[in-house]
Structures are given as C-alpha cells and as structure tokens.
Structure 1
Amino acid sequence: MSQDTISVRDIARQLPGVVRRAPSIAKGLYYYSLKNDSKPLTLGTLVEHNAVKYGTRPAILADDRRISYAEFNAWANRIAHYLHAQGLKKGDSIAVLLENRPELLATVVGAAKIGVACAMLNTSQKGKVLAHSINLIEPQMIVVGEELASVFEGVRHQVTLGHPSPCLFMPDTDSLRDSGATPDGYINLAQMISGYRGNNPTVKTPPTLGDTAVYIYTSGTTGLPKAAPGSHRKFIKAYGGFGLMTLNMGPNDVLYCTLPLYHATALLVCWGSVLSGGSAIALRRRFSASAFWDDVRRYGASTFGYVGELCRYLLNQPPSPNDRHHGLTKMIGNGLRPSIWKPFKERFGIETVAELYASSEGNIGFSNFFNMENTVGFTTAPYALVKYHEGTRDPVRNAKGRMEKVKAGEPGLLLGEITAKWAFEGYTQKDATEKSILRDVFKKGDAWFNTGDVLKEIGWRHLQFVDRMGDTFRWKGENVSTTEVENIIDESGMVEEAIVYGVDIPGTNGKAGMVTLVPQQGGVDDFDVDALFRYLQDNLPPYAIPVFVRVTSAIEKTGTFKYKKADLKTAGYSVDRPGERVYAWLPRETGYTQVDEALVKRIEGGEIPF
C-alpha cells in the first residue's frame, strides 16, 4: 500500500538513526556542497586517497579476484601513463565498451587522472545505434573488451576515431592476457601497460572538480541516444550525499553491484558511495535472481545497488529458509514500487532503502535520507511541481504565459531550477540541451530543467514518483525511446507505418514495448513477423525490442494527422479488433507467438513471468 503522507511522527521515529550518523553526515555535507569547479578534487584523487588510507583493503571483488586499493590505484596509473604517452590530454575522450569487470573501473580512473573523459557505451547496443553513440563523442580511442569485440567489429567501419592507432583491446581470459594475442588492428592494452610505472601521474593541466569525467548515454525523450557529460562533481556529490550522508559507508562495507556500469546508478551512485567509505564493490556481469543471495554471502555484502525490476525478480523467487541468512542491510537505487517496498524489506531483512531520484543529465536529485517508506526522499535543490498536459512533457502555461504549481499532494511535472549552484550539464548536443530547458517559468529570465517526470509531494519536502511522461517508457530498468525504435523499424523496409508505445502487463514494473504497424507489402495475414524479429534482434538491444506487435491495415489518425496513440495504448495486446493480428515475444522464446484469447487470459492472470 502506498504511503500518501509523511508526518512529524514519521520523521521523529528516524531521528535516532540520523543522530548516530551525525559525523558521517557532517563530512558528507561538506563534499556534497562544494562549489569551486577549479578545486583539484576528482575521481582520481578519491582513489589515490583510498590507496593511502585503505591500501590493503579490497577495492574490487569479482569472481575469485580481490584487488586492493593500492593495487587498483597502481593499475589505473599504468593506464594513465599509457594514454598520456599516446598524446591524450585533458579535454580528450575515449569510448569504453566493456562488461561489468574490474578493467572497466581501472580504465575510467586511469583516463580521469589525466583529464580524459570516458564515454560509457551501453553493452546492449549494436549496429546503427552503437555507431551513433560512438560518433556523438568523436573519441580519440576506444577500449573494447574481448567479450564485445565482435559487436564492435560490426560497426568499426562506421565510426570516426581521432587517434592513429585508436582500437585498444582488453583481454577477458588469462590465457589471452598472458599470451598477448590480439585481433588484427588492435593494440593489447593489458599487455602494453605492463611496461609503465604504477606511480600517480603528474600532468601540466590536471583535471578539476568541474571537468567532465564520463559521458553517460540516455535515450532522452525522442530519437537516438544522447550523451550526457558527467563532471567529477557528480562523483563527489554521490560520494558525500549518498555514500556518507545516507548510507554511512565504511571500510568493512561491500556493495554488490549487478547493475551495468554504463548506467549512472551503478557508476556514479553505487561506486561513488563505495569510494566514500574505502569500501569494496563486488561486481557481477549480469544480474541473476537465482545466484543473487549466494553472491551476497560469498562477498560478505552489506549493501546492494538496485532498480525496481531487480527487486521484483528477487521477490518472485520461491521463499527459502536462507532468505535472511546474509549480512545485507542496505540498498540504494531507484524504481522500488510501493506495492513491493514493505514485502521486500520484511522478507529479506533490509533495514535501509536509500531510494533516490536523479537523471544522468539533470541538475536535481532526491535521496531517501530519513529512510522513509515509499519515497524518493527530499532535496536541498530548488524545484517545482507544475501542471502539465497529460501524456506529454509539456507544462501548462496560463494566460500570462507563466506556469502554475500544483496543490500539495497533487501529481505535477518536476522542474529543477537552473542556478549557479545547481547547474545543468545537459547533453553534448546543444539543441537537445536547449529543448530540456524551460524559460520564463514563474518570472521573466528564470530557467528550469524539465525532468519529464511526474511526482507528488507527500510531506516534509518528500516526493513520491508517479510516472514517466513523454515519448519514453521504462522496461527492464532501461529507458526506451519510442522514436528511436520507430526509426529502426521504419528502416527495415517491411512497414509502411509503425507506432511504438508502452503497455502495462500485470505483475511487472514499467511498461512493455508494443508496436502497431502497417505492412509495406501484402496484407495482415501475409506479414512475416519472424523476419521482423530477426531484424530487431540485429538492430536493437533486447530491452528495446517490442514485446508485442499488432499488425493492422491502417492506423487511425486525428483531423490534424496525429496518431491516436491513446486508443492504441487502451487496446493494448487485446485480440478483439477485427482484421488485426497480435503477436507476443514470450520469455525464453526465440520469436513471436500469435496471441489468442487464451494467451491474453494467461498474461492477465500473471501466469507468464515477463
């Protein structure tokens, strides 16, 4: 059941815990509030500090590997020296295409130490989408993991890289790492850095707090992925705000992370929190519900990073006597639905849910500092909840051209005020950045970041997430751009029209993708849905492939030639519309299955575990 209000009593109940964390909170507030962009406090200096203070303590745990802070810092230094020797300097960038393994973190820190930003490529991307993401940044070099070399080879001729020898290969097996065997056209980075020293690098123009450390990709609201620059400040804010103030991380803590490190939640929030306490991060390549608790016990994890879908998967596992046989007491992430919040905590013995709200590109974030129920927490940043047009990211303006705040408790479009302290870093594309800014909102000359999300206030400046608006939906913990998927389908040559949207499936988080399409040739009965599926697999990450396909002879439009998407969403995957066929991509199936009434009933009854 959703909690609608937070009372004085609720806050008071949490005060003893806040008092116990007082020293960590005070320290965290210092880092969270830093203003000087020229301050030489960066991701690299955080690691160097931990190498001195916690040198023998583990920094990274992965499979059977245990890497101490001293070892990790020296490893990153060798990468930094190598990149510097290749002529890379502050302001340059490299792309990183690696799965969740220690080499990714070492590469990010090594580059950061000399002021080189890492573009964190989504490992689910392939084809045109991957090529677009790389070319957005125009990196000097790219680091490609052995496990993703074939994916990169598929787009290698489509991307522009600035260095004469730009392709760096990161082996994934000991035999290949030791032998130095390397694919044609690549330089074996693991082999090359062995000849460089492990001392901290010194450069003429060292990076500072305000410099870009990483680029995080987001689907944004429309079109192909956008790249959002993330400064060292974002790591420092996570270090202070999440790691110290909210989680009170220490050297004995281990944070178990199965979230992909190309996500801001994993890279910035989880890892930033780990660094704050000299804690360890335990990595797994991909989330596994069946192996989750065994890993937690194996690594001695006290904390884990989550998205709501991950928690639902865990809760759907059969109950076990070992459900509380672990040391996990804290969790940090986003998207935990009110319907499973309390059941999850009670079943697994979780004490602290550090639910948060933030975006890669945004200037505003919320954190559940007081450990309240069913809330993204509160923020010290200036924000407003305003009236909006249903189904869009568009706010309502009154007769005077100004926006109006909603009443307390009412859902509203969340805006974050852009000020000198709360700067908006935006995207690499200036036009995309400008589209996210609203001007003259409450007075002439003011500027606000449009989050595109609807939230409501439930007391004491605490907000509760309501919905994600506009042309995106969230599925499997990922934002899916309807326009991006539509463009990919359009390029197949198989359809005349295609409209993509999200639909609800009982018992799941987010919305499943669905496309209604008109075949390019032939009728509804002749459409080759298997060929469409093969094409989508080649050009989209799995989470973006539509779960449902509706094939029709025409898509209804309004008098102004706008598609009636609301009617399509209402119809969902029902099969009661004459002359149409509906298909579903069922779990563990390798293609689409035609939907009939019996299958609709099974889906509606929660019998199929999407």
Structure 2
Amino acid sequence: GETVALLGPNSPFYVATTLGVTQLGAVTALINTHLTGAPLAHALREARCRLVLVHRRHEEAVRALGLEGVELLVYGPGPFDEESARPGAPLAPVKVESGSDFVYIYTSGTTGLPKPCRVTHGRAVVAGSMFAAAVWRFEPGDKVYCVLPLYHSSGLLLGVGAAIMGGAAVALRESFSARAFWSDAVRYQATGMLYIGEICRHLLATAPGPDDRAHRLRVAVGNGMRTDVWEPFARRFGVPQIREFYAATEAPGGIFNFTGRVGSVGHLPLRHLLPGRLARYDLTTGEHVRDARGRCLDCAPNEEGELLVRISEKPLISGLEFKGYTDEAATRKKILTDVFRPGDRYYRSGDLMRVDEDGFFYFVDRLGDTFRWKGENVSTEQVAQVLLGVAEVAFAVVYGVPLAGREGRAGMAAIELRPGAAFDGAAVFAAVEAHLPSPARPRFVRLVAHIELNASFKPVRAALREQGADPSTLTDPLFVYDESARTYSPLTTQVWSALSL
C-alpha cells in the first residue's frame, strides 16, 4: 500500500523496478524527468512517498528540494546497481486486487501542476491486452521500437505493457532522436513503432536518408498524427498501417481508428450504446449548452463539442472504472452529473471534437487553447494547419495574447522555419487570407529557433502566451499582419505603440 517514487530514464531497469515494486504490493509513482524545482517538489509531495528511487543524473535536482522524511536511493553506475545485480532470496509476491493501484502516472500539466492519475492493475492488464490483440495485432517475431518516456501511459502501458501481454519484444531508447530513429529501427529490426504528438512531423522534417525505407515497420500506433502529416509520412517512409487512437490515462474509455481514415482519431459503431458523446459547448460562456430541463445537448454531425465519456459503476470491461486522481477534489472536477438524464455521470475530456456523418471523430482543440477574437472562436489547431502548409514553415504553435483595451485575445503564431529558409511574410499572409476567416488570421508572428515540446511531444503554449507580443520585452524577430501591404511586416516598438487592430 505504500508508494515508491521512480525518477529516471527509459531502461530495462526502469521496467523491472516498476514490476518489482508491484511484487511487494506497493505503488510506483512515475515522475517526469523534465521536472525540477517547485513542480518536482509538488509531484513528489502528491505521491506521498517515503522512498525515492532516482537515477544519478537527477539526484542533484531531488536533493536540492530538501524534502524531509523522504529517503533517496540513487541508481546508475554505482553501489546500488552492483548490490541489486547480486542474486537474492526470492520473495513471494504480495497478492493484489484488480482494483488496487499499480502506478501513478501524472498528467502533462497543461492546465496546472501535474496531477497523479490512479492506474489500477486491472486497467494496466486491460490496456496491454487490448492493444496487443486489437491495435498492434502482434505476430511471432514482432518487436516494438519505443522512444516515448515510460513515465507516461503510452510508453509504459501501450508499448511495453502491450508487448508483455502479447509476447512481443521491445527496443527501448532513452529519448526520441529524429536523426537516429530510422537507423535504430533498422538495427533493431523493429516491426512496430509508437508515436505521440509531433514525433512524426519531426521525422518528416529530417533530410532523406538511406534508412528511410530500409526498415521492417508494418504498423505505427499512437495519437496526435495530424492530417497534413499522415499521408506524407506513410508515403515517404513506407509504413503500410497507421493506427491512430484517442485516450487519456484516467479516462473510462477510448476511440480507435482501425480503418485508416486520414486525420480521424477513430470511429464508434453503434454510438448510442457506447459511452462517448459530444456535448454542445459555448466557448463564450465556458459552459455546456443545456435545454429547458438543464440537460446537455448532443452535437449534430460536424458540430464541435466537448467529448464526454459515461462513467459506469460496473463497466462491461473490468479495469475501465474511472479512478481519477489521488486528489479527490481534482477527481470531482472531472465529473459532470445529471448530464443527459437524472443521475448519470460523465468524465470531462476537456477536448473539443467533431464527428462526421459516418461516425468518425476528429480532434479540434483543447478547450483551454481555443480563444475568442472579434466575437469569433478561433481554433489554434486549424490555424496551425494552415501555417504548416507554407513551404518555409517547419513547425507552428498558435495561441491568443491579450491586448490592452481590447476584448478577447489576438492570434499569435510562433514559427520555426526549415533549415536555411527565410521568413516570407507575403506567403504567410496569402495562406491565412485564402484559408482562414479574418478573426482567425494571426495578428502577430514570432520567429523562434526551436519550438519547445513537453514530455508528450506537444507544443508548450503557456510560456509563449505569457510572454505576449510586446517587442520591447522580446528579442525574437516579430511581425504584424499588414493588410495594406498584404504581408507580415516587422513589428517594432514604434509600430506596436501605434497599433490599431
């Protein structure tokens, strides 16, 4: 029943330690290796642990916190590794229940400090078994190449866990490297790859190489594959099957794309019998649209709404119970009650989605990322897709920035250019004018050397949003939407002070 915090890079030791802690009946809190300072202290406090098993490279960051009542065991080259490698007396495994906690996996922290999600033994087994049989569809000799961090559910449960349940092998890398990816895939003779977020876009941005098609990959499994990347990725690298899915570590269900519909996160047949529903959502008020009785309303085809997942006290599949977080208050915030009928309960995904006439779901945006400008709602994902269609643009992150005296937030795009490319303000202007309504066109562009990604390989918007667009506080090149010149013109302090948007 106690908790052991584990902080270290991907390795066989990491997997063995997680399973070893389970053998003792304890829970492993999987700590994000990118955390330092206050966020790291918060994560360890939330784990309520007395023991932290930390890799040597992260030891200093933990000791600097001065945590009281917490013992540190340091691994990496040294005495602990030598001692743990010696054969010891076997320990009888402690019996655990399906509904008891296996690991704590933290949220990415996009809406605040990371929260530990409770992952039960039953959930881990169900996730691994389902992905092994239905998503990966393992065959004899299969091997998964995993570059995702094992402190996240995709790497641990859907990669390593599925391989364990399906009898496949795993080739682990400490962290993602676009340059080494295909040479690793060839060297390990991998037949499957796991992706998330912008990994595939980064791979597309690399220069063509001899290993691009020398691999044996037959399937890529993951989430976050955008429409503009999907077909170019499959075509260039010769990956015959892409299986996109939608899920969250704590969610009581998921959506799967088994048919290869480009851009879709998946399909729910017999939707009225399944737990996922799209509810109308008013971005202006930040509330769900309700009828006269106070009930939520289903979205029409292609209408955007928040994905809600029904919480069942006795789900058809054991292990899909909604256990939430270690913090009961945080758990309650994710639950809506009396949603479509009296007494029902739904999990709030926080994601805007739409579903087409054929029942295929498409991710639109995070609720916290969508913003309003000139009375219109702006989807950051939609704007980013248009910008990524400009030849010189390698990566783009879109967000809203406040302006003094103006309601809403003006659109701003942080752009990373392709190597050797120059910013073409006229080309960007032409693209946004052709494909976006006026309120959605970014008012500002910021050129950055590198777009920072979080541990889920998703762009970090919060810091960019906080830094705003004032050229007196930023050193990066800035540009402003210039309708008269039909381009994005340099944004100087003089132009900034005279702006009238």
Q: Distance in 1 between matches of 2:176 and 2:401?
A: 27
Deviation at 1:345, TM superposition (A): 1.0
1: distance between equivalents of 2:395 and 2:274? 28
Q: Does residue 108 in structure 1 map to residue 13 in structure 2? A: no
Q: Are 1:511 and 2:401 matched, yes or no?
A: no
Q: Could you say which residue in structure 2 is the equivalent of 1:236?
A: 125
Paired letter, 1:567: R
Residues 68-217 of structure 1: pairs in structure 2 closer than 5 A: 91-155=1-65, 157-158=66-67, 160-161=69-70, 166-171=71-76, 176-177=77-78, 180=79, 188=80, 190-197=81-88, 199=90, 201-203=91-93, 205-217=94-106
| % identity of equivalent residues | 33
What SS does the corresponding residue of 1:123 show, helix, strand or coil?
Answer: coil
Whole-Å separation in 2 of the counterparts to 1:159 and 1:244: 45
Contact 1:304 1:330 in 2 (8 A): yes
Q: CA deviation at 1:245?
A: 1.4
Distance in 2 between the 1:196 and 1:405 partners?
59
Partner in structure 2 of residue 400 of structure 1: 293
Aligned position for 2:333: 435
Equivalent-residue separation in structure 1 for 2:370 and 2:8 (angstroms): 26
Equivalent residue of 1:134, what SS? helix
* Conserved 8 A contact 1:392-1:470: no
Q: CA deviation at 1:226?
A: 0.8
Aligned to 1:586: 449
| Residue segments in structure 1 that go unaligned for 5+ positions in a row | 1-90, 181-187, 474-500, 517-553, 558-563, 576-580, 606-610
The two structures have a TM-score, normalised by structure 1, of 0.62
Describe the shift of the 1:378–1:599 C-alpha distance in structure 2 as closer, same or farther (beyond 3 A): closer
Q: CA-atom RMSD, angstroms? A: 3.4
Q: Are the counterparts in 2 of residues 131 and 159 from structure 1 also a CA contact under 8 Å?
A: no
Equivalent position amino acid for 2:348 in 1: N
Residues 478-497 of structure 1: pairs in structure 2 closer than 5 A = none
* Alignment match, 2:409: 567
Contact 2:117 2:250 in 1 (8 A): yes
Residue 502 to residue 385, structure 1, CA distance change in 2 (3 Å): closer
| 1:117 and 1:215 in contact (8 A); partners too | yes
Unpaired segments of 5 or more residues in structure 2? 372-378, 389-393, 416-424, 426-443, 453-472, 490-501
**Counterparts of 2:294 and 2:262, CA distance in 1:** 37
The 1-side partners of 2:351 and 2:41 are apart by: 29
Equivalents in 1 of 2:180, 2:132: separation in Å? 26
Matched, 1:458 2:356: yes
- The 8 Å contact of residues 391 and 470 in structure 1, kept in 2 or not, is answered as no
Distance 1:583 1:404, change over 3 A: closer
What is the distance in 2 between the residues matched to 1:136 and 1:351? 43
Displacement of 1:351 in angstroms is: 1.7
Structure 2 Cα separation of the partners of residues 285 and 392 of structure 1: 44
Distance 2:361 2:451 in 1: 37
Superposition pairs of residues 529-608 of structure 1, within 5 angstroms: 555-556=404-405, 564=407, 566-568=408-410, 570-571=411-412, 585-587=448-450, 593-597=475-479
Distance 1:392 1:140, change over 3 A: farther
Are the counterparts in 1 of residues 413 and 445 from structure 2 also a CA contact under 8 Å?
A: no
Within 2, Cα distance between the matches of 1:227 and 1:263?
A: 11
1:349 aligns with 2:238: yes
Distance 1:195 1:325 in 2: 40
- Matched letter for residue 334 of structure 2: S
Q: Deviations over 1:433-471 (max 9, x none)?
A: 101100000111110001011122235543221211126
Task: Tell me whether 1:445 sits opposite 2:335 in the alignment.
Answer: no
Letter in 1 for 2:368: G
Q: What is the Cα deviation at residue 593 of structure 1?
A: 2.7
Using the TM superposition, give the Cα deviation of residue 583 of structure 1 relative to its aligned residue in structure 2, in angstroms. Answer: 7.1
Distance 1:356 1:320, change over 3 A: same
Structure (1 or 2) with the greater helix fraction: 1
For 2:437, the equivalent position in structure 1 comes to: none
* Superposed displacement of residue 292, structure 1: 0.6
